[in-house]
A and B are shown apart, each in its own frame.
Chain A
Amino acid sequence: MDPNIAVQLAATAIEALLKLVASIKASHGLTDDQVMASFQTESQSTKDTIAGYLAKLPA
């Protein structure tokens, strides 16, 4: 693999990792109902994000 691409991929993975850890940490201290509300919101957001990525790809 091109070293430049490998570096870019590593940077992308680390950035995504930090975002994920921050999201998980953010749920600390929430009530159960707040956790479930976040769960429902986030799962719909994930579905929308995936649909968005699929929509921009060529057929």
Chain B
Amino acid sequence: MKKVSLLVCLCIVIAFETACPNTPYGKAGEAGLNVTQALHTGADIVDQLQVVGAITVTEEKETLHAMDALNTLDMAYGACIQAAHVAGSKAGAFVACAEIFQAGTKDSVLMKELRVSDPHSQAVIRSIGQTVVDLLANVISTLGK
């Protein structure tokens, strides 16, 4: 399962690197799109983990609530970059939106408190959270150049 998690992260990074638009607005938007797609896929995986009995119903509920909170943060990030675009802001404003989002993820239970009893499932859930962190770090690094 660890190999699968590593493969997931590697392929996401490769796909992200080969599909970036050029403007700060486009790059910032693409990062937000990628994050919500990762969370959508993650929700599908978490539900399947519960269906096959790897995690409990309570664990699925806690994980999905944490993912929903991250998706809500992502939607707020989308509103932030939209506002920056309308205001004609430079790249720094888009970086600021991503940094606010990134700060929010550090308080996320998905990253620090959420625990499930099955270690394989824990690794999968952790890789979903790490994908969100990596996507944000990537866009901040790219826009900050």
Q: Which A residues lie at the B interface, using CB under 8 A?
A: 1, 5-6, 8-10, 12-14, 16-17, 19-21, 23-25, 27-28, 30-32, 35-36, 38-40, 42-47, 49-51, 53-54, 57-58
Contact = CB atoms under 8 A, between A and B. Distances in A.
A28 B74 CA distance: 20
Interface of B: 1, 4-5, 7-8, 11-12, 15-16, 18-19, 21, 23, 25-26, 29-30, 32-34, 36-41, 43-50, 52-54, 57, 60-61, 64-65, 67-68, 71-72, 74-75, 78, 81-82, 85, 118, 120-121, 124
A38 B8 contact: no
Contacts of A44: 75
Nearest to B135: A24
A5 B48 CA distance: 11
Main secondary structure of the interface of B (DSSP, over half): helix
A6 B40 CA distance: 22
Contacts of B60: 53, 57
A9 B43 contact: no
B45 A13 contact: yes
Main secondary structure of the interface of A (DSSP, over half): helix
Nearest to B44: A16
Nearest to B118: A1
Contacts of B71: 43, 46-47, 50
A43 B118 contact: no
A2 to B, nearest CB: 9
Contacts of A12: 44-45, 48, 52
B32 A54 contact: no
A57 B12 CA distance: 30
Contacts of A47: 68, 71-72, 75
Contacts of B120: 1, 6, 9
